[in-house]
Amino acid sequence: MTEDAQASLLALTPMNPVFKADPHVVLRPLRETRPVARDPQAGTFIVTRYVDAHRVLANRRTSRNGARAETCAHLAHRQEAQLPTNVPRSEVASMIVLDDPDHARIRRPLQRAFYARVKTCRLRLEQVVDAALDAIDPERPFDLMVAFCLPVPIDAIAAIIGVDNVSLTDFRQWSEGVALGLNPFRSPEQTVLLEQARTSLRDYFRGQIDQCRVTPRDDLISDMVALQAAGAEINDAELALNLIALLVGGNMTTTDLIGNGARLLMLNPGELEKLLADPELAPLLVEEVLRFEGPIDVTERIMTDDIELSGCPINATQAVTTILRAANRDPAVYDDPERFVIDAKRAPHLSFGGGSHFCIGAPLARLEGQLALLKLFQRFPTLKIVDCDAEPAWRTLPFFRGLEKLIVHA
Ligand code: HEM
């Protein structure tokens, strides 16, 4: 079980046409017969059962720092090699790949300010969703991704962070630019765009931090500046970097939550009927979309202790890749896992990861998903996919599942 030439992370990406069409054709046999499989090329263990993935993610002693991995953990080292070494790691690597004490030092104040903002942003999010819906011309077919799923998360995070209307157009462009960082197969031209977007966003946020220090406003940046003044140990470079991390971590994922959810509701009219008859089901709907067709496939940890998973020994310094999509359909945890049922009360999914790196954006993603899907179908209850028989246009981005386009008519 520890050495398996056929288990390969590359086969668990849309580069594999079978996986792209239906990931579960590949994941199901892996989970059933080789739940902990070694990928020698990537230098990681591929973990597909819920119980094992949950155990790894809940373990707060694990690391996200590739430098702490054994030499043959190629994927982990590749990520680390891209970081400059002449600056403190916490100023070039966001919380996503930091370990404690830096991770806790940076995440704690940001989480406190961010969660408080999300609690009070419902009305503003409703306005963002309504504005996107108002801009749609329902008289002709339209691309739901471009018209709705893409702009809503960017405008929502802009409102929370405190981006003014003058900067919004630039901000939208930079946000799409930094998302290119998620694509390991980007072209050299795209890498140039990515670097430009990163620099522009960093300069923009540094300028805003300075301004909020002089004239506080009602937004997340001002909240963070106030926490700094009250003693929170996060410097301006770290703050700007982690504000960018909110965009990178949050935009495409929430776009895909809304896009995948809308597609599932259109393909399952009975479930849509349930939602429209009882809008209180929106929170359960979003959890079921996240379980059934979540936006992210994987998250990784470096072990710092020896453990055993499904009978397979794994040593400290070895890398483990948890396959969230496989765990979320594990029949050992879910009844009838291959069915999309919006009012099923199921065990929590793993789509937001777990432990100390549990997605900081989860409360926002959940609220946005609920408002967006409910309002979309309340406005256009007969929304249909234009060509239901055509292959869905899944993006070819490793470790993410979302649609490039979704042409619909109202
Ligand atoms: C449906 C939407 C989303 C999904 C499926 C998702 C999924 C994830 C996953 C799987 C992780 C890694 C967790 C781990 O390794 O245990 C993560 C981390 C993170 N997410 Fe999200 N995310 C979503 C939305 C958001 C939003 C809206 C934001 C920001 C506003 C965000 C910001 C982040 C950040 C900054 C991290 C790193 C947290 C840390 O390392 O402490 N995400 N997310």
pLDDT reading at 292 higher than 50: yes
CA distance 403 to 410: 19
Closest CA to 30 of 16, 15, 17, 11: 11
What's the CA-to-centroid distance between 352 and ligand 1, angstroms? 6
Mutation probe of ligand 1 site: the residue of 98, 254, 352, 367 with most atoms within 8 A of C-beta: 352
**Ligand 1 centre and the CA of 282: distance in Å?**
21
What pLDDT is recorded for position 79? 82
**Cβ contact 295:361 at 8 Å:** no
Percent of the chain with pLDDT over 90: 88
Q: Cα-Cα-Cα-Cα dihedral of 152, 154, 155, 158, to 10°?
A: 150
- The answer to whether the CB of 265 falls within 8 A of the CB of 274 is no
Domain of residue 167: give its range.
9-409
Task: State the closest ligand 1 atom to the C-alpha of 294, by its place in the atom list counted from 1.
Answer: 5
What digits encode the pLDDT tens for the residues 55-108? Answer: 999 999 999 999 999 999 998 898 888 888 889 999 999 999 999 999 999 999
16 Cβ contact partners less than 8 Å away, ≥ 6 residues apart: 10, 26
Quick one: average pLDDT of 370-386? 98
Task: Quote the number of domains for the chain.
Answer: 1
- The 8 Å CB, 24+ separation contacts for 201-206 are 201/171, 201/174, 201/175, 201/240, 201/243, 201/244, 201/247, 202/240, 202/241, 202/244, 204/167, 204/170, 204/171, 204/174, 205/239, 205/240, 205/243, 205/244, 206/236, 206/237, 206/240
pLDDT at residue 16 is higher than 90: yes
Whole-number Cα distances in Å, 159 to 127, 136, 186, 326? 10, 21, 29, 34
Burial of 48 (0-12, 13-18, 19+ CB in 10 A): buried
Query: What's the gap in Å between 54 CA and the centre of ligand 1?
Result: 16
In this predicted structure, the answer to whether residue 287 has a pLDDT above a threshold of 60 is yes
Identify the band that residue 6 occupies on the pLDDT scale cut at 50, 70 and 90: low
The model's confidence at residue 164, banded by pLDDT at 50, 70 and 90, is confident
CA of 374 to the centre of ligand 1 (A): 22
Pocket test for ligand 1, best of 65, 234, 359 (most atoms within 8 A of CB): 359
Q: Is residue 3 part of a domain?
A: no
Q: What is the whole-number distance in angstroms between the Cα of residue 401 and the centre of ligand 1?
A: 15
Give domain status of residue 4, yes or no. Answer: no
Tell me if 339 is assigned to some domain: yes
1: pLDDT strictly greater than 60: no
Task: Decide if pLDDT at 184 tops 80.
Answer: no
Instruction: Tell me which residue of 359, 298, 288, 363 sits closest to 324, measured CA to CA.
Output: 298
Task: Give the strand pairing for 312-314 and 142-143.
Answer: unpaired
Compare 374 and 181 and report the one with higher pLDDT.
374
Whether the CB of 157 sits within 6 Å of ligand 1: yes
The answer to the question of residue 233 being in a domain is yes
Mean pLDDT of 341-358: 97
**pLDDT at 87 (0 to 100):** 92
Band of residue 2 on the pLDDT scale cut at 50, 70, 90: very low
Give pLDDT, residue 172.
86
Residue 176 lies in a domain: yes
Mean local confidence (pLDDT), 255-281: 98
Q: How far is the CA of 58 from the centre of ligand 1 (A)?
A: 15
Whether ligand 1 lies within 6 angstroms of the CB of 261 is answered as no
- 3-7, 107-111, 280-284, 302-306, range with the lowest pLDDT: 3-7
Predicted confidence band of residue 4 (pLDDT cuts 50, 70, 90): very low
DSSP secondary structure letter of residue 288: H
The pLDDT assigned to 165 comes to 84
Q: Long-range CB contacts (< 8 A, 24+ apart) of 179-183?
A: 179/247, 179/248, 179/251, 179/252, 181/248, 182/248, 182/252, 182/397, 182/400, 183/397, 183/398
Question: Is any ligand 1 atom within 6 A of the Cβ of residue 117?
Answer: no
Distance CA 267, CA 80 (A): 41
Q: What is the mean pLDDT of the chain?
A: 95
Distance 382 CA to ligand 1 centre (A): 32
Query: Is 281 inside a domain boundary?
Result: yes
Is there an atom of ligand 1 within 6 Å of 182 CB? Answer: no
> Atom 43 of ligand 1 has which residue's CA nearest to it?
359
Summarised one tens digit per residue, pLDDT across range 190-217 is 999 999 999 999 999 999 999 999 999 9
Within a domain: 1? no
> Does any ligand 1 atom lie closer than 6 A to the CB of residue 254?
yes
Choose the weakest-confidence range: 159-163, 268-272, 287-291, 317-321. Answer: 159-163
CATH of the domain at 268: 1.10.630.10
Average pLDDT over residues 22-32: 97
The residue-averaged pLDDT of 323-349 equals 97
182 found inside a domain: yes
Does 3 score more than 60 pLDDT?
no
